[in-house]
Amino acid sequence: MKKKIFFCNCGANLIGKDRLVEISEYLKKTGNSCVEISDLCCCSVDRKDDTHDLFLSDDMILMIACYPRGVKLLLENCGIDHEKLNVNYLNFRELNNDQLFLAIDSFLSVDGSEGETLEFVSTTGWPSWYPMIDYSRCTSCGQCADFCLFGVYDKVDKKVVVVNPKGCKNNCPACGRICPQTAIVFPKYELSGAIAGSDTIDEIAEQQRQSQDIDTILGSNIYKALEMRKAKRQSIIRSTALQQAIAEREKALMEKGPFFKF
């Protein structure tokens, strides 16, 4: 069985550029087959099909990225069944480079696979900040969809889904902070914990944190606050649609000439 290493050269500055460069150079020195992904979060949306195809093999895989729970959700977003993959995960947010290198050497110690480093690059400069839903915890209560003002979520067949990841406001994890089941993961969340995708979740601590966050973000009357946000979201959607219609009308007028009238 061949061995392949995937390395997310994350664009979120979670561990620092010097460390990323050092990891990249070390992988190249091994001479093993490696795929260096510029930003897995971005590629799992903008290059979803291509990302899916990268993993269509029976290779034994070593994935070097952030929290495995978040990485698995990103792979699932590309239609990849991570349960069928032979994957070992290394979390560069919890391991230092010396620990990573020892683990890489151990992975390659038996039957390493010679090959080149393939660079797999995201196609946009989008910061790719958006939520993933851990359906093993989600109860489809819809609180995140009611809270979000930017149309990131929708309810489809009684299931909450992320339909507009690029609508998410950069570095805003508020929906994840108030999720009753701690089911929302932001892989690029700089702090540790369940929201960042940590595999180990302190349920009691998360409940306490969530209670405080709900009081801070929504106040004492949660349902009234959510209804107000729903109304505000609808207002934003109507305003955006109106602005788009006006822009399209102005464009049509310019194309038809100064004497054209509807």
What's the pLDDT at 10? 85
104 vs 85 pLDDT, higher one:
104
CA distances from 69 to 12, 41, 73, 130, 257 (A): 17, 13, 6, 15, 56
Q: Which two tokens stand for residue 87?
A: 């994957």
Q: What is the mean pLDDT of residues 42-66?
A: 91
Mean pLDDT over residues 115-131, rounded? 89
pLDDT value of residue 120: 94
* Overall average pLDDT of the 125-137 stretch: 93
What is the per-residue pLDDT for 210?
77
Give whichever of 90-99, 113-122, 139-148, 237-246 has the largest mean pLDDT. Answer: 90-99
What pLDDT is recorded for position 208? 84
The pLDDT value recorded for residue 34 is 93
Which residue type, as a one-letter code, is found at position 251? K
Percent of the chain clearing pLDDT 90 (strictly above): 48
End-to-end CA, the chain: 68
User: Pairing relation of β-strands 34-37 and 117-120?
Assistant: parallel
Q: Residue 114 pairs with which residues in a beta bridge?
A: 32
Nearest to residue 124, comparing CAs of 32, 19, 47, 218? Answer: 47
For residue 219, pLDDT beyond 70: no
The residue ranking higher by pLDDT, 253 or 155, is 155
Whether the pLDDT of residue 218 is over 80: the answer is no
Q: Which domains does the chain have, with CATH numbers?
A: 3-120 (3.40.50), 132-251 (no CATH)
Please say whether the beta carbons of 12 and 69 come within 8 A.
Answer: no
**For 39-56, what is the mean pLDDT?**
93
- Greater pLDDT, 80 or 234: 80
Mean of the per-residue pLDDT values of the chain: 85
C-alpha R_g of the chain: 22
Q: What are the tens digits of pLDDT across the range 137-168? A: 999 999 898 888 888 999 888 899 999 999 99
**What's the whole-model pTM score?**
0.79
pLDDT(38) > 50: yes
37: tokens are: 């992904």
CA separation for the pair 35, 93 (Å, rounded): 19
Q: What is the model's pLDDT at position 146?
A: 85
Q: Which of 102, 88, 111 is nearest to 26 (CA)?
A: 102
Residues forming a β-bridge with 184: 133
Q: What is the dihedral of CA 248, 249, 251, 257, to 10 degrees?
A: 160
The residues facing 6 across adjacent strands are 35, 63
